[in-house]
Amino acid sequence: MPTSYSKEIAAITRAMGKAFGRQRDVLDSAGHILADAARLAGNYGRNDLGPRARDEYESRIAPLIASGLVAGRRLMAKTPVVPKKSGLGGFIAAGLGVALVAGVAYLAWQVLRTDDDAWVDDDFDVD
């Protein structure tokens, strides 16, 4: 008994078209919901959270920072500043720093330079 698959294929194609249409509608609705949620979040942040954060900063954090700066300035005004003399240790430390920088530069030059003799040929005889 020969059967024709064209009717079944047409039915499956119609069902698939309907499913894709419903899926497109769902995605469109989800997009609208996300846009509304983003708009609402922006309004909430701008109208409620922003002013509340600004008030907290102005009433609590800014005075704390200002008092810390005042205390720091008072402490710095009371502390005498003594000029530091550089002795032999300073010259030795500077020399070691220069030697360290030169060593790193030499190492980088050795690593990054091209050396044509360092490459091994791919073709070799195995007899």
pLDDT digits (tens, 9 = 90+) for 53-62: 898 889 888 8
Residue 24 included in any domain? yes
Residue 126 included in any domain? no
Can you tell me the mean pLDDT for 64-75? Answer: 88
DSSP 35: H
Residue 35 included in any domain? yes
Separation in Å, CA 105 to CA 43, 80, 94, 95, 116: 56, 41, 17, 15, 21
Residue 92 included in any domain? no
What's the domain count of the chain? 1
Separation in Å, CA 79 to CA 11, 29, 40: 91, 68, 54
Q: How far apart are the first and last CA of the chain?
A: 70
Phi then psi for residue 113, to 5 deg, are -75, 155
Residue 55 included in any domain? yes
Residue 110 included in any domain? no
Residue 68 included in any domain? yes
Amino acid residing at 30: A
The model carries a pTM of 0.41
pLDDT tens-digit profile of 32-66? 999 999 999 999 989 998 898 898 889 888 888 89
Residue 108 included in any domain? no
pLDDT tens-digit profile of 76-120? 888 787 777 778 888 888 899 999 999 998 888 887 776 666 555
Structural domain range at position 67: 6-83
Rounded Cα distance between 125 and 127, Å, is 6
